[in-house]
A and B are shown apart, each in its own frame.
Chain A
Amino acid sequence: MKPNIAAATGGQKKAGRRSETLGSNSEIGRKLKQYYDDLVSDEVPDRFANLLKQLEESEKASATPVGEGQ
Chain B
Amino acid sequence: MADTASTFKQDLLGAIPSLRAFAMSLAQNADKADDLVQETLVKAWDKQASFQPGTNLKAWVFTILRNEFYSQMRKRGREVQDSDGVITARLAVHPAQQGSMDLDDFRTALETLPEDQREAIILIGASGFSYEEAAEICDCAVGTIKSRVSRARSRLQEILNVSGEADFGPDAISAQVMGSNAA
For the complex, is B125 an interface residue (Cβ under 8 Å from A)? Answer: yes
Asked whether A36 and B122 contact (CB < 8 A) given A27-B99, A44-B17, A55-B45, the answer is yes
Q: How many residues of B contact A (CB 8 A)?
A: 50
Interface SS of chain A: helix
Q: What chain A residues lie within 8 Å of B12 (beta carbons)?
A: 52
Contacting pair A12 B175 (CB below 8 A):
yes
Is B9 a contact partner of A56 (Cβ separation < 8 A)? yes
- CB neighbours (8 Å) of A20 from chain B are 176
B28 to chain A, nearest CB (A): 11
* Contact residues of B: prevailing secondary structure: helix
Please name 26 pairs of A and B residues whose Cβ atoms are closer than 8 Å in the assembled complex, sorted by A.
Answer: A12-B172, A16-B180, A18-B124, A18-B180, A20-B176, A21-B124, A21-B149, A21-B176, A22-B121, A27-B101, A28-B157, A31-B101, A32-B110, A32-B122, A32-B125, A35-B110, A37-B126, A40-B17, A40-B20, A40-B21, A42-B17, A42-B20, A47-B38, A52-B13, A52-B41, A52-B45
Using a CB–CB cutoff of 8 Å, the interface residues on chain B facing chain A are 5-6, 9, 12-13, 16-18, 20-21, 24-25, 34, 37-38, 41-42, 45, 99, 101, 103, 106-107, 110, 121-122, 124-127, 130-131, 149, 153, 156-157, 160, 162, 165, 167-168, 172-173, 175-177, 179-180, 182-183
